[in-house]
Each structure stands twice: as C-alpha cells, then as structure tokens.
Amino acid sequence: MSLCNNANMRTLNHPSRKSMTLSGVLYALSDPLRLSIIKSLAAQGEQPCGAFGLSVAKSTASHHFRVLREAGVIRMKPEGTQHINSLRREDLDSRFPGLLDAILQASGPV
Amino acid sequence: MSLCNNANMRTLNHPSRKSMTLSGVLYALSDPLRLSIIKSLAAQGEQPCGAFGLSVAKSTASHHFRVLREAGVIRMKPEGTQHINSLRREDLDSRFPGLLDAILQASGPV
DNA sequence: TCCTTTGTTCGATTATAATCGAACTATGAG
DNA sequence: CTCATAGTTCGATTATAATCGAACAAAGGA
C-alpha cells in the first residue's frame, strides 16, 4: 500500500512566489549546511547536488535540498541523471527585497 | 544538588556583537511568534514581556524571549519587577548590515 | 511583614528536525 | 539488456525545540 503517494518526486514541488513565507525562508537558511549551499550557488552559479562536497550521507543531503526547495530558496531542475540547483534570486528579491543580499553579505566570503 | 547553576538569571547573558552568529539570528527570527515580538519592538519601541499579548503560557513566552536574547536580537533590562525588552538595532546593523531592515520590511505591517 | 506583580527555572511531555543505511528509481552509457 | 551514476524515499534513531504547569525569586506596594 501507498507506493507512489501523490506529492512524489515526479513533479518536484516548487512553491509559487506568493506562497513563500518569511519564516520558511529564514528557517531554511538558519542551518549552516544549507547556508553553505546557497553561498556556493550564489558564488559559482547553478550546480548539481553532488558538486557541493557535503560531508553528510546522500539521504541527508537530499533532505536539505528539499528543505531549501520547499521554502522557495532554490530551484531543482532534472537534467539527465542529475538535478541542477539554482538560486531563485528574482523570486526572492521580489518577495523579500534585500533579504537574500543581506544574508549573503552577512555570511561572509565563500 | 545544582540549585544555582552558574549561567543563572542573575546576570542575563547577552552575547557580544562579535559572538552573534548569522545562523543563530536567522533561527531566532524564523519562528512566527518571535518574529511578531521583534516587529512589535521595531514599531512601538521597548516594552516589557507582558505587553505583547502573547497567547502562550508565561513559561513559553519566557523561553522565546530567551532565544531572542541569546541570539543577540534583543536586550533585556531588569526594571523593577519587570524586564524591558529592546531591539539591539545598532549591534545587528553593524554585524549584519541590512538584515534586520530586510526582515522587518518583509514581515509586513504590524 | 505579607501580598501582588512580573518573569524565571525546573521537569515532563510532545512535536519537529537531523541523520543514517538500505532499498529504490530514472537516466544514460556501453 | 546490463551497469553505473545521481539522487530520492522509507523506516528507524537520535537530537532539538516547543509547550505547559508548578514552584520559585525579586521588587515594590499595602
């Protein structure tokens, strides 16, 4: 029972601009590992999950990418066998002006 | 044993500017109730804990004020029987320029 | 001195989140 | 088709955090 639940991987659920919440974004970025991911994305541009050199299990990394995606911070685009991640800069800037820049600046150099 | 542990209430531990962390601040502000507290402080200026009309138990409210204080977001000053809370605006602006303003703006009108 | 007000601390409970390994899925290469 | 790659999902475990009531503490008023 319940293989294949409805909100499954097939459709990679990204929130719309409007349904992003400030609390959700702040929470997503309050984790040092997730913050390091978005710093890297901001500095190097889009990258697949494997390119971050995260020192946690694959399943843990997958969890963190999901938190970022579901908060609206990143976009994940399937490309061949991998998922390309990118910052949702315009959406974030439009919904929460100045927030991403302030956080990136506060997070220091990569 | 262990009444009166050392980091006790007597000295209301506020982190120095330098020992504030971005993750800590983001985490503290990622909770809707705590966000509402700092919105109110930003809008009305300093206020005692009781003035926020929080709909949680006293002990829970006390917990949230502590999280904000220990992250460096607010200052708590004993004054008679109450504690006056204020935003640590200058410290935040100096350590994380633009962050507080971006968050307050994003959090909408009070 | 006793009482009220304001908030803290303690201990327990419940709820969320992080983490991992194992099994799985999808894609593309050989 | 078979295999390797890249990542997801599941289930379990552990760690953090939120919440409450009860007991406590400090300050000040009656």
Cα angle value B54/B59/B60 (rounded, 5°): 55
CB of residue B77 closer than 7 A to nucleic acid strand C? no
Does residue B55 surpass a pLDDT of 60? yes
Average pLDDT over residues B57-76: 98
For CA atoms B43, B44, B49, B55, the dihedral sign is negative
In the prediction, which pLDDT does B110 show?
A: 82
Average pLDDT over residues A41-66: 98
Nucleotides of D under 7 A from a protein CB: 4-11, 17-23, 25-28
Chain B residue closest in CA terms to A20? B106
Nearest to B99 among A24, A32, A102 (CB): A102
Looking at the C1' of nucleotide C18, which residue has the nearest alpha carbon? A60
CA distance B7 to B66: 13
In the prediction, which pLDDT does A10 show?
A: 52
User: How far from chain centre, in Å, is Cα B108?
Assistant: 19
**Could you give the maximum distance between any two Cα atoms of chain B, in Å?**
48
Does residue B49 surpass a pLDDT of 70? yes
DSSP type of residue B80: T
Between A and B, how many residue pairs show a Cβ–Cβ distance under 8 A?
Answer: 63
B22–A35 C-beta distance less than 8 A? yes
Does residue A2 surpass a pLDDT of 70? no
Categorize the per-residue pLDDT at B1 as very low, low, confident or very high, splitting at 50, 70 and 90: very low
Q: How many CB atoms lie within 10 A of CB B9?
A: 8
3-state secondary structure of A13: coil
Which pLDDT tens digit goes with each residue over B15-40? 999 999 999 999 999 999 999 999 99
Is the pTM here over 0.75, yes or no? yes
In the prediction, which pLDDT does A110 show?
A: 82
In the prediction, which pLDDT does A18 show?
A: 96
Give percent of chain A above pLDDT 70: 91
